[in-house]
Structure 1
């Protein structure tokens, strides 16, 4: 009798563990992972992030209006996991020097500009907590450009400019950009 109870309990625990593993690692997330990649002239940049959808919601705005991402509050620049920036050489991030490496990237949205921060705490699994501000490397202001078209899925893209790249962040009708240029 005890053997049957233990076997049944073991089966339930095993099924639960398999369900959790499937939910976390196998099932397609609501906000799929994506990467923005650039390689040219010796410069390699990769930004790994997850792409949430608008789904008819107010994205950026006042908390009292029900905004998904209220002005003045931490945002991981995507969903699910922390957004990570990898650069293969020392560069200027919006004019500020950073060393080659991997950085956690987040923002604090504002009506006129986003404060974009690079943090040295990379590799955080699922980024379920805010980053440690003592590990912030730098923060830059990126002016907001309002667009007439609506972008349903949050998208980060990298385009080549003279001396480096411009990283565009666009969601809903909000666009902001950060230049990343090589150190001369």
Structure 2
């Protein structure tokens, strides 16, 4: 009886130790980690105008054009569709947009990209993109950067324009 109790207790301790060791294991890190960009960019300014939450895909030796096919709606990042929140009414490109949270899609092109603000939120990629729910569209001209960016990035300049960069592709849209 004591031997059975000891064996059972030893087995239980072993199981708990094994469980705790496995609980400390982390799965591989996400290859497209989430990031956020906001305007004003200073962390000292708490009243933001806009915040973008997106996942950052990496080139890994591939061409930007193969990952962002021209003429097709793109989720503007990886994984879930990019989320954009306006904390006050803004003008996106030349279209007024009410404060709120939206999805941000783009349609890449060789010389210009179309930026799309869409009322559908919490959607995966651009698979369920519905043009009928577009709130605003704006066009950004493609330029070439001096430095190649391995990881897709979004940033804002001092005037509030939103800039997308990946590889040497740069494109921006004004937000006022």
Q: 1:167 aligns with which of 151, 157, 162?
A: 162
Instruction: Output the aligned Cα RMSD.
Output: 2.1
Structure 1 length-normalised TM: 0.74
> Structure 1 residues 51, 138: closer, same or farther in 2, change over 3 A?
same
Higher percent of residues as strand: 1
2:82/2:105 contact within 8 Å kept: yes
Unaligned runs of 5+ in 2: 1-26
Report deviation, 1:130. 3.1
Report deviation, 1:109. 0.5
Q: 1:122-162, CA deviations, whole angstroms, 9 ceiling, x for partnerless residues?
A: 122x336231111011211100011232111000011221x
- Residue 54 of structure 1 pairs with residue 81 of structure 2: no
User: Which stretches of structure 1, 4 residues or longer, exceed 2 Å deviation after superposition?
Assistant: 38-44
Rounded Cα–Cα distance in structure 2 between residues aligned with 1:27 and 1:83: 22
Larger radius of gyration: 2
Q: How many residues align?
A: 148
> Structure 1 residues 59, 180: closer, same or farther in 2, change over 3 A?
same
Q: 1:130 aligns with which of 128, 131, 135?
A: 128
Matches within 5 A, 1:22-61: 27-39=28-40, 40=45, 42-60=47-65
Q: Paired residue for 1:83?
A: 82
Structure 2 length-normalised TM: 0.77
